Amino acid sequence: MMRESGVLLHITSLPSPFGIGDLGPAAYRFADLLAESKQRIWQINPINPTLLKMGSNPYDSPSAFAGNTLLIDPLGLVQMGLLDKSDIEVIPRFPDGVTDYQLVTNYKEKLFLKVYERFKDCGFKDADESWRYAKFCKESSVWLEDYCLFVACRDHYQGRAWNRWPLRVRDRDEDVLADLRQTLCERIDKEKLRQYIFFQQWFSLKEHCNRLRIRILGDMPIYVSYDSADVWANAHIFDLDKRKRPLTVSGVPPDQFSENGQLWGNPTYRWDILAKECYSWFIRRIEHNLLLFDLLRIDHFRGLVAYWAVKAGSKTASKGRWIDAPAEDFLTELYRRFSCLPVIAEDLGHITADVREVVCKFEIPGMRVLAFAFGEDIAYSCHIPHNFVRNCVAYTGTHDTNTARGWFEEASPEDKERLFCYLGREVTAEEVSWELIRLAMLSVANTVVTPMQDILGLGTLARMNRPATTDGNYRWRLLPSQMGLDKRLRELTEIGGRA
């Protein structure tokens, strides 16, 4: 890894007149701002579909492959000839600075209905577009067919989870599925069109970033949601009973985020089955992500080494157990399949020696987070700059932590005193984010990524996510007036040898 830096800002957090950050003009403008500030990385959260019932959490998706169509830019639909300009002239009054997912969903569903009706009547105005659409459907069929049928069936069965569908549908009887594909063909075609539009817009943005020498750092959750096309179509690789219900679910034991641990509820993997199949499903997933992103952070990396399994139906994650996973065999297969594997390990939380050994053996960069650095173990913490290694990615904070200012305002007097001692002076809440950015940028870490909230010096209200909660997360958005990068970012980038 070369010495470089970048910014963490999810797509949903961009400003847009359409209620949610999208793949439109603001995304291109932000890429331009990154280039002007000599940043080389744009880190985002997962771009998979989200569900309102799950709090629109991008880490809890009905598909590990599909794109989040709420991120489609309506202006791009006009350019494709699938909407008239008049269709987007009347826009609901969306709240400033936050995303109201219900309002956005209602608005964009109406637009997508018009898009499909126009497409059904007239097709694409560009003949080449029809060829690209057919090519996308063919090349993506390994996941697209199952996902679109899953979405259609979920609507057809009034939103019930797939294990509550008729038994022959639940168990994927091929004759029944063939009939459903005929019956639900219109809903399937609607979703295929949406997915095509999403990925066309996504790769256009990625191409723009790459022309500016900006690499996109994406995020891949290690687990997938139970109520997803992935589990329905690949039930045998998950720890399910004969009725296709989870036997064990994922989570983490009690930690600094939650005294009862975090009960995520995703089904755990049958690693023995995955190994027999040469990890083919997982490898397809990573291959797909490496097409979407230039770099890939694997969320909860330690779950590849050993995972916390909790009996399904438990109220908390406190009574789980660690189960070993075949990390070395799996990673060896990955490195055999991919000559270059640009991954980053999210190695935060309860990290044991076996995890550190795997990260070291395969030379995978891990994470260092200054928000964790100023506790009682400051002298020996891996998150304090004097203990950084070169092969790591340093952050002031992540999407799961408070902002730097928010952390400081809620920190104990002892943590503040340790921070002041380390800096050599006392700082205020207004100053703290840039002091932490300076520490990270001038450290030995090869890569530094700073959340946009810390560049702006924002407090707790701008926090992206509160682990172990489901309400009110992933809603923060930039105001149009905040679309800028402080000149200090470029100065520290140049002084730190990251330009």
Angle value at C-alpha 236, between 233 and 238, nearest 5 degrees: 95
Q: From the candidates 346, 347, 435, 454, give the one annotated as an active-site residue.
A: 346
Q: Which two tokens stand for residue 356?
A: 């550190």
Catalytic, 400? Answer yes
pLDDT at 488 (0 to 100): 97
Of 299, 347, 435, 454, which residue is the catalytic one? 299
Residue 7's CB is within 10 A of a number of other CB atoms, namely: 24
Would you state the structure tokens that stand for residue 348, as one six-digit string? 């935060």
What are the boundaries of each domain within the chain?
234-364
CB 395 within 8 A of CB 8: yes
- This prediction has a pTM of 0.96
Inter-residue contact 452 to 16 (CB < 8 Å) = no
CA 232 to centroid of chain Cα atoms: 22
Q: Write the single-letter amino acid at 198.
A: F
Per-residue pLDDT of the chain (499 residues), as tens digits, is 689 999 999 999 999 999 999 999 999 999 999 999 999 999 999 999 998 877 799 999 999 999 999 999 999 999 999 999 999 999 999 999 999 999 999 999 999 999 999 999 999 988 899 999 999 999 999 999 999 999 999 999 999 999 999 999 999 999 999 999 999 999 999 999 999 999 999 999 999 999 999 999 999 999 999 999 999 999 999 999 999 999 999 999 987 667 888 899 999 999 999 999 999 999 999 999 999 999 999 999 999 999 999 999 999 999 999 999 999 999 999 999 998 899 999 999 888 999 999 999 999 999 999 999 999 999 999 999 999 999 999 999 999 999 999 999 999 999 999 999 999 999 999 999 999 999 999 999 999 999 999 999 999 999 999 987 888 999 999 999 999 999 999 999 999 999 9
Contacts of residue 288, Cβ cutoff 8 Å, sequence gap at least 6: 65, 143
Of the residues 227, 239, 400, 454, which is catalytic?
400
